[in-house]
Amino acid sequence: MQYGLCIDYSPPKLVDSRRALACANSGHGDNDASQSKGSSPGHQQYLVPAILPMTIRHSSSTMASVSLSTTAAQQVNPYLGHEEKTAYVAFSLKQFKRSASVCAGDAQHASFLPEGLFTVVLAHVMAHAQHGASQAPKLSRTHAVCFMESTKLELQLVPAVGGIKMKITSAQPGAMLHMLHTMISEAARERYFELKSSLLLPFDDKMLLFFEDVLYHHKSKQDMWVDEQLLPPDDLVAKYGRLLPVLGLQDKYDVFISYRQRANMVMALHPRLEQHNLVAFLDANNLETGLNFKLSFMTAIGLSLVACPIVSAATIMQMRQLQHSDYYPARFDLLLSW
């Protein structure tokens, strides 16, 4: 289990709407469902990605002579160019970035895809995705489709760009993209600690863009060179808007996140809130350069339903170390800074 070769697995409980309604009306609730076959305590199931079928959309006979997942993926998972709500995680032993864009062929040439990498990643993703599954996933060693509440997540091994394709069909794919990229990168490094990952966005049938450059030009509202083409910020939003943060003050917020410094916890909390269709204020995204900071800050608080102060353990330790004599002014300053 440590290396993603085998994980505890609980298949999603698919609800028969007519039976559920009958149970609810009779007052028995889910008692009948809890006694169904395979749900008894102690009956543990496991998922072993390495013994999954090679693909999910091709007959086993066409893949009978193929033993390597990368070879199979080259045949069945081509690079398709630009697709909405889609990004790629490319793997390499050395950073290959030279500009804001890269040709698919260059990314493939610089890539390093160990055999079995996709199944390791799949095991880690399924360990998290299975708990919110709304129907049975479709799994293979080169392609997987998972259904989580209102989100459809598709993963594909795509050797043509040297990585894994992520297609996220949901109302807030940007939030899921952040968490998924982190999860995939960490899973790969646990098994192959020298691997480096790059997050890429498909531009056309030959070119991909580095997400960090797209994000920078989006936030700074600057034009971006892609090969010999100059893209204005509006074009970036039109092409990748669903994967990018919403900038500037909004009409209202569900949550106002307050924190003293940029922290990993805050960067992880924000996309999780967005994933649940909550509009969250984060100064890195919603405070525009050049505007009155205090006025914008107070305006955002007034437009928010809930304020969520983030207090780090280091700050709590700092407060505990204060002497009694400076208890009130020092702690009052800290509270104001929150």
What is the rounded CA–CA span in Å between residue 2 and residue 5? 7
Q: With H, G, I as helix, E, B as strand and everything else as coil, classify residue 287.
A: coil
106 plus 181 within the same structural domain: yes
In terms of Cβ atoms closer than 10 Å to its own Cβ (0-12, 13-18, 19+), residue 326 is exposed
In a domain, 1, yes or no: no
Q: What is the mean pLDDT of residues 74-99?
A: 94
204-216 b/e (C-beta count within 10 Å ≥ 16 → b): eeebbbbbebbbe
In a domain, 99, yes or no: yes
Confidence at residue 265, expressed as pLDDT on a 0 to 100 scale: 63
More confident residue, 128 or 225: 225
pLDDT tens sequence across 47-67: 777 788 888 876 655 665 667
Tokens representing residue 23 in the block: 């149970």
Angle at 42 between CA 38 and CA 46, to 5 degrees: 70
Confidence at residue 31, expressed as pLDDT on a 0 to 100 scale: 44
pLDDT tens sequence across 169-207: 987 788 788 888 988 998 898 888 899 999 999 999 999
224 plus 313 within the same structural domain: no
Tell the residue number behind the tokens 């008692």, with chain if given: 31
At 188, which helix (H) or strand (E)? helix 173-191
**Where residue 1 falls among pLDDT bands split at 50, 70, 90?**
very low
In the predicted structure, residue 315 carries a pLDDT above the cut 80:
no
Say if CB 190 and CB 215 are below 8 A apart: no
279 plus 158 within the same structural domain: no
Confidence at residue 245, expressed as pLDDT on a 0 to 100 scale: 78
* The last residue of a domain, from among 177, 207, 241: 241
Q: Which of 251, 94, 240 is nearest to 173 (CA)?
A: 240
Q: With H, G, I as helix, E, B as strand and everything else as coil, classify residue 280.
A: strand
220 plus 262 within the same structural domain: no
In the predicted structure, residue 236 carries a pLDDT above the cut 90:
yes
74 plus 183 within the same structural domain: yes
In a domain, 300, yes or no: yes
Q: What is the mean pLDDT of residues 103-107?
A: 95
206 plus 269 within the same structural domain: no
Confidence at residue 266, expressed as pLDDT on a 0 to 100 scale: 66
Confidence at residue 229, expressed as pLDDT on a 0 to 100 scale: 92
What is the rounded CA–CA span in Å between residue 255 and residue 245? 15
Confidence at residue 151, expressed as pLDDT on a 0 to 100 scale: 84
233 plus 275 within the same structural domain: no
pLDDT tens sequence across 238-276: 999 989 877 766 667 778 777 655 555 665 677 677 766
Say if CB 169 and CB 151 are below 8 A apart: yes
**Where residue 217 falls among pLDDT bands split at 50, 70, 90?**
very high
**Where residue 104 falls among pLDDT bands split at 50, 70, 90?**
very high
In the predicted structure, residue 159 carries a pLDDT above the cut 70:
yes
Q: Which of 79, 73, 75, 72 is nearest to 102 (CA)?
A: 79
Confidence at residue 29, expressed as pLDDT on a 0 to 100 scale: 46
In the predicted structure, residue 6 carries a pLDDT above the cut 70:
no
Q: Which of 215, 310, 211, 293 is nearest to 256 (CA)?
A: 310
Residue 183: CB atoms within 10 A of its CB come to 16
What is the rounded CA–CA span in Å between residue 60 and residue 109? 29
pLDDT tens sequence across 320-336: 776 555 555 555 455 54
Work out how many domains the chain is built from and give that number. 2
212 plus 166 within the same structural domain: yes
Tokens representing residue 60 in the block: 């086993």
Q: What is the mean pLDDT of residues 106-121?
A: 92
Tell the residue number behind the tokens 């968490």, with chain if given: 179
Structural domain including 222 reads: 47-241
Confidence at residue 50, expressed as pLDDT on a 0 to 100 scale: 72
| CATH assignment at residue 195 | 3.30.310.200
What is the rounded CA–CA span in Å between residue 149 and residue 127? 16
In the predicted structure, residue 38 carries a pLDDT above the cut 50:
no
Q: Which of 101-105, 229-233, 266-270, 301-305 has the lowest mean pLDDT?
A: 266-270
Q: With H, G, I as helix, E, B as strand and everything else as coil, classify residue 63.
A: helix
Q: What is the mean pLDDT of residues 16-35?
A: 45
Q: What is the mean pLDDT of residues 111-131?
A: 86
Q: Tell me, what amino acid is at 307?
A: A
In a domain, 63, yes or no: yes
Confidence at residue 144, expressed as pLDDT on a 0 to 100 scale: 93
143 plus 211 within the same structural domain: yes
Tokens representing residue 113 in the block: 């895809």
Confidence at residue 278, expressed as pLDDT on a 0 to 100 scale: 76
Confidence at residue 309, expressed as pLDDT on a 0 to 100 scale: 75
In the predicted structure, residue 68 carries a pLDDT above the cut 50:
yes
Q: What is the mean pLDDT of residues 80-109?
A: 94
Residue 259: CB atoms within 10 A of its CB come to 20
Rounded to the nearest integer, the mean pLDDT of the chain is: 78
What is the rounded CA–CA span in Å between residue 126 and residue 49? 10
Alpha-carbon separation of residue 260 from 124, 268, 273 (angstroms): 32, 16, 19
In a domain, 71, yes or no: yes
Alpha-carbon separation of residue 326 from 321, 331, 337 (angstroms): 11, 8, 17
124 plus 156 within the same structural domain: yes
In a domain, 215, yes or no: yes
In a domain, 7, yes or no: no
Expressed in angstroms, the distance from the first to the final Cα of the chain is 41
228 plus 79 within the same structural domain: yes
Alpha-carbon separation of residue 332 from 170, 315, 324, 329 (angstroms): 43, 13, 13, 5
Residues in the chain: 338
Q: With H, G, I as helix, E, B as strand and everything else as coil, classify residue 161.
A: helix
